[in-house]
Amino acid sequence: MPFSRTFWNLVLTLGLLSPITLNAADRPVPNKFAGRSEVIAANGMVASSHPLATQVGLDILKAGGTAADAAIAVNAALGLMEPTGNGMGGDLLAIVWDAKTGQLHGLNATGKSGSKVSREWFAENGYEKIPSYGPLTVTVPGAVDGWFMLHERFGKLPMKDLLAPAIRYAREGHPVHEVIAMYWAGHIRARAPWPGYLEQMTIDGRAPQKGEIWKNPNLANTLEKIARQGRDVFYKGEIARTIADFLAEHGGFVTYQDLANHSGYWVDPVSTNYRGYTLWELPPNSQGIAALQILNLLEAYDISAMGFGSADHIHTFTEAKKIVYEDRAKYYADPEFNDIPVAELISKEYADLRRPLINPLKAADSFEAGDPLVLRDGDTVFLSTADSEGNMVSLIQSNWRGSGSGMTPPGLGFVLQNRGEIFNLDPDHANSLEPNKRPFHTNIPAFVTVDEKPFMAFGVMGGEMQPQGHVQILLNMIDFGMNLQDAGDAPRIRHTGSSEPDFGTMRQGGKITLESGFEYDVVRQLMARGHEVEYAGRNPYGGYQAIMRDPETGVYYGASESRKDGQAAGY
């Protein structure tokens, strides 16, 4: 529950709370925040948000599979084990390091809106915005196509071997993990009214409890069909017919032909260099370049000297985020429908033009989006895998709002995504709803190179938190000297409001949500600068997984999110 400024003033004035700090002297290694060590292995590594899925990926690597093979197997398992964050009804994006060529490859496996959709329909039916759940929100799911694109280019083992573990777990069952059980219980109410959800995704109308065995034989059958018949059974065959008929019956816009026409595409990642480390992200329709823009703004500041968790650190980061998210709201959209000035937005010159907007002593209520075109004249689950050959995959996949739209086609075992909610009904907006258009996408995989060598595949899942999380991980490692696990376990900052692409306006200046672990004197200082500061008792800070490669020895280091059920493991 968020607390008001008055509440914070009372608490801080009376000294009712003490800051929660961790003492490095209490541990045998000098990590300030990490509750566990990094995982270190020489032959391969998998990091995911579920321990059993991580073990699935390790088994694939040990059987001779590539990093891409392991990523597919892990993602398929997560669709069963963590349906609160992903599944075959959602989209997929990935960045792959190909050791043979020494090149990065980006994969955009996101789906489009239905061909029958129109803004006029929403206006005629009294909608001021697209709803959050139900058939009107469904877009074409791109994940399965993404699996096959990854497999065709970078896979080695047969697809049937990659899907076999998920099929086995779906048929025999697995015990539900703690954090997933909590989210599952919280997702039911919003999806209960929609056809198929309660029957397929609950046990007699309730979420499975921690440790309870969850089986999904329908999902096992669907995966078996894909393993035997390939991607086309999903997009052109029996599964596609079931999805299309189901949506037609309940008023959705996605048709059989929309599914049959779907195709993901390979794209070149884009990058910026921050103090010798090159961060790579995917260009729009994803929001990845927001992380690049924020780093460009922060590069001119001595972040290290500010000290982790100081008012200067949090204030400067937040103001940079505000500036960039105005551009995110205005420009990030489907590049097939918009001329997006990506090169200008992520340039150092544009950051130099925008940086003077940051007042070091005062929080801004709002910023106007910039005009990067002046430079032409002078925008979930995450997993990472790595194999013995040096190949690495950074992959993110989701249904949008956790468990998706609630629309659950009969007999298939998964929920369709509600990504269409993100579209804007303003015809002049870059992300305006149109037929056969990819929506603005929050999902962003990330990759870091150093001197053109692979360094780290990482991500921080969690909607609009993702670019903020990417930047904080890198600041923690580069400016504050934390290791891979410490960087993820350190308390996080999340700013919301002041610029949201499609979800209405919030209070001027938005609000900073701080995780426990920051000094309360810092909260006072932030409030004195005009920030609204709140506390969130339920995790809004995302979920982090990472694999780092020592460029000299080739040894892998793995880290997993302490706020989730996840695990990093190697061999």
CA distances for 568 relative to 40, 63, 105, 378, 384, angstroms: 9, 18, 23, 47, 9
CA distances for 520 relative to 13, 21, 294, 402, 526, angstroms: 10, 11, 26, 32, 10
Report the amino acid identity of residue 500: E
For every residue of 248-313, DSSP letters joined together read HHTT-S--HHHHHH---EEE--EEEEETTEEEEEPPTTBSTHHHHHHHHHHTTS-HHHH-TT-HHH
Q: Among residues 84, 380, 442, 513, which one is catalytic?
A: 380
380 catalytically annotated: yes
Cα(57)–Cα(51) distance, integer angstroms: 10
For every residue of 47-63, DSSP letters joined together read EESSHHHHHHHHHHHHT
Residue 32 neighbours by CB under 8 Å, 6+ apart: 22, 24, 482, 486, 490
Cα(254)–Cα(436) distance, integer angstroms: 9
For every residue of 334-401, DSSP letters joined together read -TTTS---HHHHTSHHHHHHHGGG--TTS--S------GGGGGG---EEEEEE-TTS-EEEEEEE-SS
Q: Which two tokens stand for residue 224?
A: 């078996």
Backbone angles phi, psi at 424, to 5 degrees: -105, 140
* 3-class state of residue 429 by DSSP: coil
Cα(240)–Cα(296) distance, integer angstroms: 44
CA 304 to chain centre: 27
Q: Which two tokens stand for residue 549?
A: 């490669």
Nearest residue to 541 (alpha-carbon basis) of 515, 503, 559, 509: 515
Residue 489 neighbours by CB under 8 Å, 6+ apart: 31, 33, 34, 35, 562
Cα(386)–Cα(39) distance, integer angstroms: 13
The torsion of the CA quartet 384, 385, 391, 393, rounded to 10 degrees, works out to -30
Report the amino acid identity of residue 275: R
Residues with catalytic function: 380
